[in-house]
Structure 1
Amino acid sequence: MQRSRYRTLGQIGQGQFGKVFCGIDRENGQVFALKDLDIKQFPTRKFLRELSYLVSLKHPNIISFHGIEHHQGGRYLVMDYCEGGTLRELMESGQKITLQLILKLVQDILSALVHAHRKKIIHCDIKPENILLKITSTGYIAKLSDFGIARWSEEQLQPYHSGGYTGSPAYMAPERFYGKYSAASDLYAVGILLYELLVGSRPFSGFPKDLMAAHLSQSFNLSDTIPLSLQTIIEKALRKLPQRRFTNSQEMLEAVRLAEQELLGNSSDNIFFIPSSSSSLNNFSQIIKKVYLSRKITNLSVVQNWIYWVEKNVLMVQFYYDKTDLEFFHDYKITFEDEIIKLEFSSNTVYIFTFSEESNLYTLYHFFVEQEQLKKLLTWSANQLISSIDIKGKWIAIALNYQEINIYSLQDFKFIKSTITEGKIQQIITLDQSHCLVIHQSTSEHTLFQIFNRRGNLFKAFSITLAIELVTLSKVADYEIFAIETNKPFLGLLIKLKPLKITRIPLPFKPSFVLAQSWGYILASSLGEIIVLNAQGIIQGEINLSATITAITTLNDEKILVATESNNQSCLQQLSLKKDF
């Protein structure tokens, strides 16, 4: 059998009928979900039934079907890919979702049901795990998925049909426990979902038998904190008798739209999360040392027991005895003709990039600290400085213009290869000792990712519908990056590349600096604000230095160095985080 058209990036889910993978079309780079159906668990009859539903349903809030891909082990259903994950994952992310986003997502689900019900298809398994999220520059789009146990509706004179007890008991309407279903059964599940989004828990809990009894006969209470218009919608959707619920999905959709208009008006602000109140880092952090300097620091790094900082065209190299104090014992001062704009490191070697405004040329030097040896390596012209050194320090990639990258060996500094990428290069990130990620800003609302190896061979690019900046490679997980959403700079992004998954992180300020740690991230603004995020992006604490931050770096997992400027006085501060997470 010939090679599959799709290159898989990893498994994204496991259902009762098979596995779901993230795959990239080798021809055009488009990302799809590949649903690999187990033939034993999902025989041809069931396969054709789900396929008939998918072919019948074409709607922006329903996962679209794009074809069937046969492979050596069976067959894939090729479907829309939603990089935002499931609604369940969003609900359990630790972020508080705004009422605006809740009502938007519920309307998306109901819009999908309006279309499905008009096609006489009952989903029968509405739950957060089956609601997938597409991330866009304006927010989220909810898409209804998994029609594996869906049913064709009966004629009006026979509204219920015995089809067996299947589904998710926590979201099942009373009649569903007797194998009966109708459009009203789906609306009951949406009522449970709306309740859960607003309250944080479902109205009924327990084992399947307990849930069955609760759905059949138990009442529930609604908190006064829930707006009355939404209480009315939930109460009607969760009535025990299906004929007493909303007449159809369109009626419930209109009720939610009216409630949104009443509660939110015509607000055009896309606010997704409620800011969380974090405990202050002042309680478990301290400034343990301050060193006052004569000039502003514009770049700062620490490698082994050496601190490197830049004062315009001067590189200062300071040795310190240990990582508990800033007692300096020996230093180097190297003055360059041009301004130093970037430092990169490999082992005990520092790579120094300078820029001459007069000649519009960049120059690369390397400095061996232990040998006290400075050597000029390369001079070139480019639109801007974009480069990356692999983690082992064996090769460097330099962007010469908006699309061309040159690769050089750092062992003998020989030219390896020039490669032309697919878009305008914004940033290059080293993923491992053999691969780099090129980030292209294709439009104001799209970012293109393309991977190449140290030999200059390019892999097919793929894109996301977001503009990003300040991209930083994770130290927690492989093939994961942290970025800032360009058009919404108070939102951070955790982006997993294999498989593709994007998680939005609400931030209290617009970061100017991002540092990756083995436990998460440190973010800082130029105004002196610093926050600490754990690996999941949850804020663990914050501190404000009340000074302009000009550079920041880490000493180790629990100590950072911050260069600040206040009242024309430059200072190097050592902070102990004493993290507890």
Structure 2
Amino acid sequence: MASLTRQIRRSHYRLLGLVGHGQFGRVYCAAHRTTGELVAIKDLHKDRFPTHKFLRELRFLLSLEHPNIVTCHALEHSDNGRQLVLDYCEGGTLRSLMESDTPLSLAEIIGFVADILGALDQAHHHGIVHCDIKPENILLQLTPGGWVTRISDFGIARLSQEAKAADIGQTGSPAYMAPERFYNQHPAASDLYAVGVILYELLVGHRPFSGTPMELMVAHLNQRPALPSSVPEPMQRIVLKALQKLLPKRFKTAREMQRELWQVSQQLRQGTLENTPFPPRSLPPTVMAPPMPPVAMPHPVTVMGMVALDQHTQLLIACDQHHVWFYHWPQGETHVPGPTQGFTLPHPIRRFIPLPQGGMLVTDSSLHLLSMAHGLGRVTESPDTTVAAAVAPSGRWFATYPSQSGDEPGTLLIHRLTMAMGQPVTVGAPRSVTLPGQVGIFVDLLALDDRHGMVVMRQGRSTQIHIISRRGTYLGSEGVQVPCDRLIATARPYRYLALEVDQPQSVLVLDVKPFRMVRYRVPIQPQWVFETAVGYGLLSSEGEFCLLNDEGQILNRLSGLPCPTAMVPMSPTQYLWSLSTDQGSQLCTFDLAKMDLDLLF
């Protein structure tokens, strides 16, 4: 990758990371150095893609323009080969969505397949057969509440009249290959057969045939696929016609298959067909959570954070509007001792940002630094007014953003922070960064790493992420057509969890570098989203809990949990929850190891 990085740096694009492997090379996420536009760089090695094949691929790509086909924008050259600059799709592949526990409505499935057929209709009209239609080659772009599908990798597509056995052979994926493909025939209808396999898989949850390549060939040539009765009869007719063994019995064109799907879609709109989710999901059963004995607090406070004093004692930081309390909490204690000390601030406390051996309290108009090395309770006022703040992981700088929202550009301030042992804490003169244009509604301010920060803004039904260096240089922005609300950092660098506006049962996983955003639908409406040692914890206001893994699969489900007003991580498997009751403030420990889950720790 280092060699390719040096080559691409001589171009207009900056690599952001590897995102996949294509049939003829690797695929990278990259950004245009001037505009910041995200693109996909497809690396094509000379030894695997000689000149005549490369020129053929480029010719095909440049001739195809359709909203559901990945477009080729430019050509890059390097010593090791050539790179195509393509549209970038941040939502992953259809395969990754199918392997998650995300339910898809019948209308969404019809929309996916109709979009694929629209793209194939355009390609077939130009005499181009894809020859490798499969979920891995169907890319996704997020839209508010949904997805748009786009076909990628026309690298083995050939002009239909030139598709000869001596030149091509058996290219493609056996699980999606039409019967005639095994005899080195490549009509346009073979792409429609592959679409039929994808449609079957979306409806049923698995492919019609499985086994070794030889077993798959025998099945595609001889076996009739069976569909469960849960699949509506109009959809069964379309699937079985697309999977006919003989070409004359199959759909003649992509447009013909698309029209029949549109007729089913019309039935859904008229209410004569139920818009049920597919395929059938087998989620883990919901288990009643064991009791979590609460601990009464001596003051009506909300827990804000924890700082480790040594191996055996943690400092619990809590607040009651304007007042901050500190509690020394030895490990293993079942009760919270009285506060050791505290102080009062002129404004309500909104947030605590942990730092190595300390942290920062954020109010409506000031920042207050708590440093163990410089004395407990030391306070440093912020030189500006703010309610949004982010601190670098090293604690060497922090950034603030004004509280007002709206369409006017805001000014980000970056301050250098010096905390040398034995010396007073000093805050350097701020560097200002004005975000370009109309920035929209403020969502969050976060430190990406020790060198970069980001401001997240919502503009209508989309989200824009502005990247800034610690030296105050604006580096550009990345955006998605999804309105995000609240971002939660994870232990994985550049990965964040988010909730989606107007989609109460959606969870978003955002990777900033390389840029990627996937949506998972879950069976609850999460109010809290947090990372654990074994997945992402989701908790609803009704006390329902789900554990979600990186692939969007539900691992475990609980019910009967209290709903906290705040939570603080104690370890990768333990969280401290603040509870507010009629009797006052309480604390309880949420411990995954004691939740009767089918997990190993």
TM-score higher than 0.5: yes
Q: Which moved more, 1:221-230 or 1:504-513?
A: 504-513
- 2:337 pairs with 1:311: no
| Separation (CA, whole Å) in 2 of partners of 1:264 and 1:207 | 41
Aligned-pair distance for 1:175?
1.0
What is the CA distance between 1:351 and its match in structure 2?
Answer: 1.9
CA–CA distance in structure 1, aligned partners of residues 474 and 44 of structure 2: 32
Offset of residue 61 of structure 1: 0.9
- Secondary structure at 2:502 match in 1: coil
* Aligned equivalent of 2:378, options 375, 378, 389: 375
Residue matched to 2:406: none
Task: Say which of 234, 237, 255 aligns to 1:250.
Answer: 255
Question: Which of 497, 506, 522 is matched with 2:521 structurally?
Answer: 506
Q: How far has the Cα of 1:354 moved from its partner?
A: 2.9
Instruction: Map residues 73-92 of structure 1 onto 2, 5 A cutoff.
Output: 73-92=80-99
Cα distance change, pair 334–509 in 1 and its aligned pair in 2 (3 A): farther
Q: CA deviation at 1:173?
A: 1.0
The 5 Å alignment of 1:221-232 reads 221-232=226-237
Distance 1:559 1:88 in 2: 33
Aligned partner (choices 50, 59, 65) of residue 57 of structure 2? 50
User: Which amino acid in 1 is paired with 2:360?
Assistant: Y
> Is 1:291 paired with 2:296?
yes
Answer yes or no: is 1:199 the counterpart of 2:212: no
Residue 421 of structure 2: aligned partner: none
The equivalent of 1:358 in structure 2 is none
Is 2:435 the partner of 1:426? no
Alignment deviations for residues 353-391 of structure 1 (CA, whole Å, 9 cap, x no partner): 333xxxxxx122223457654334224554x51111111
Give, in whole Å, the separation in 2 of the partners of 1:525 and 1:204: 40
Whether the 8 Å CA contact 1:67–1:77 is kept in 2: the answer is yes
Contact 1:127 1:193 in 2 (8 A): yes
1:42, distance to aligned residue in structure 2 (A):
0.9
Q: Which stretch shifts more, 5-14 or 453-462?
A: 453-462
Quote the residue 2:288 is aligned against.
282
Distance 1:269 1:490, change over 3 A: farther
Relative to structure 1, the CA distance from residue 336 to residue 460 in structure 2 (aligned partners, 3 Å threshold; closer, same or farther) is: closer
Deviations 1:266-300 (Å, cap 9, x if unpaired)? 799998998874444535x54144325552x3452
Q: How does 1:327-346 map to 2 (within 5 A)?
A: 327-328=336-337, 331-346=340-355
SS at match of 1:549: coil
Q: Partners of 2:220 and 2:371 in 1: how far apart?
A: 72
Task: Mark the CA change 1:347 to 1:272 in structure 2 (over 3 Å): closer, same or farther.
Answer: farther
TM-score (normalizing by structure 1): 0.90
User: Percent sequence identity over matched residues?
Assistant: 35
The superposition leaves residues 545-573 of structure 1 with CA deviations (integer Å, 9 ceiling, x where unpaired) of: 57653211222222222222234643222
Query: Would the alpha carbon gap of residues 256 and 159 (structure 1) be closer, same or farther in structure 2, given more than 3 Å must change?
Result: farther
Aligned residue for 2:3?
A: none
Counterpart residue number, 1:414: 428
Q: Distance in 2 between matches of 1:273 and 1:397?
A: 46
2:460 corresponds to: 444
> Does residue 1:70 correspond to 2:66, yes or no?
no
**In the TM superposition, what is the alpha-carbon distance from 1:408 to its structure 2 partner?**
1.9
Q: Does the CA contact (< 8 Å) of 1:320 and 1:329 recur in 2? A: no
Corresponding residue of 2:538 = 523
**Distance apart, 1:60 and its partner CA:** 0.8
C-alpha change, 1:259 and 1:23, in structure 2 (3 Å) is: same
Among candidates 177, 190, 210, match of residue 185 of structure 1? 190
Q: 1:27 aligned to 2:34?
A: yes
- Is 1:562–2:577 an aligned residue pair? yes
Partner SS state of residue 148, structure 1? coil
Q: Which range moved further: 77-86 or 502-511?
A: 502-511
Q: Distance in 1 between matches of 2:157 and 2:339?
A: 73
**Alignment correspondent of 1:492:** 507
Equivalent pair of 2:44/2:83 in contact (CA under 8 Å) = yes
- Contact 1:287 1:575 (C-alpha < 8 Å) held by counterparts: yes
Mean Cα displacement is larger for which, 67-76 or 133-142? Answer: 67-76
User: Could you tell which deviates more after superposition, 400-409 or 253-262?
Assistant: 400-409
Query: Paired residue for 2:547, among 532, 549, 571?
Result: 532
Q: Deviations over 1:208-234 (max 9, x none)?
A: 222222211222222112111111111
Query: Aligned pair 1:234/2:252, yes or no?
Result: no
1:261 alignment partner in structure 2? 266
How far the C-alpha of 1:483 sits from its partner, in A, is 0.8
Say if 1:454 and 1:268 are closer, same or farther in 2 by CA, change over 3 A.
farther
Aligned position for 1:391:
393
Q: Flag the 1:367–1:133 CA change in 2: closer, same or farther, 3 A.
A: closer
Structure 1 position 364 matched with structure 2 position 367? yes
Partner SS for 1:191: helix
- Looking at structure 1, the residues matched to 371 and 254 of structure 2 have their Cα atoms a distance apart, in angstroms, of 70
Match of 1:481 among 452, 476, 496: 496
Instruction: Verify the 8 A CA contact 2:160 2:187 in the aligned structure 1.
Output: yes
Letter in 1 for 2:377: L
**Alpha-carbon deviation of 1:533?**
3.0
Partner of residue 472 from structure 1, selected from 479, 485, 488: 488
What corresponds to 1:59 in structure 2?
Answer: 66
C-alpha distance in 2 between matches for 1:319 and 1:275: 47
Q: Are 1:112 and 2:126 an aligned pair?
A: no
Whole-angstrom distance in 2 between the partners of 1:264 and 1:458: 47
Separation (CA, whole Å) in 2 of partners of 1:386 and 1:42: 51
Asked if 1:147 corresponds to 2:161, the answer is no
Q: How much does 1:512 deviate?
A: 3.8
Q: State the Cα deviation string for residues 457-482 of structure 1 (Å, max 9, x = none).
A: 3322221111212101111x221111
- Tell whether the 8 Å contact from 2:457 to 2:464 is kept in structure 1 after alignment: yes
Q: 1:508 to 1:91 in 2, by over 3 A?
A: closer
Matches within 5 A, 1:95-134: 95-134=102-141
Look up the SS of the partner of 1:490 in the other structure. Answer: strand
Contact 1:522-1:530 within 8 A present in 2 as well? yes
Kindly tell me: are residues 392 and 276 of structure 1, through their superposed partners in 2, closer, same or farther at Cα, counting changes over 3 Å? farther
In structure 2, the CA distance between the partners of 1:543 and 1:488, relative to structure 1 (3 Å rule), is same
Tell me how far apart the structure 2 counterparts of residues 501 and 180 of structure 1 sit (CA, whole Å).
37
Which stretch shifts more, 286-295 or 496-505? 286-295
**CA–CA separation in structure 2 for the residues paired with 1:420 and 1:323:** 49
Contact 2:328 2:340 in 1 (8 A): yes
Deviations 1:175-198 (A, max 9, x none): 111111212111111111111111
Asked if 2 retains the 8 angstrom alpha-carbon contact of 1:308 and 1:316, the reply is yes
Question: Could you tell me how far 1:103 is from its partner in structure 2?
Answer: 1.4
Q: Residue 255 of structure 1 aligns to a residue in which SS? A: helix
> Per-residue deviation at 1:137?
1.6
Alignment pair present for 1:220 and 2:241 = no
Compared CA separation, residues 538 and 137, structure 1 to 2 (3 A): same
Residues 299, 343 of structure 1: 8 Å contact kept? no
Number of the residue aligned with 2:335: 326
Which among 287, 294, 304 is matched to residue 300 of structure 1? 304
Q: Are 2:203 and 2:279, in contact at CA under 8 Å, matched by a contact in 1? A: no
Distance 2:236 2:276 in 1: 24
Query: C-alpha root-mean-square deviation of aligned residues, in Å?
Result: 2.9
SS in 1 for 2:340: strand
State whether residues 548 and 566 of structure 1, in contact with CA within 8 Å, keep that contact through their aligned partners in structure 2: no
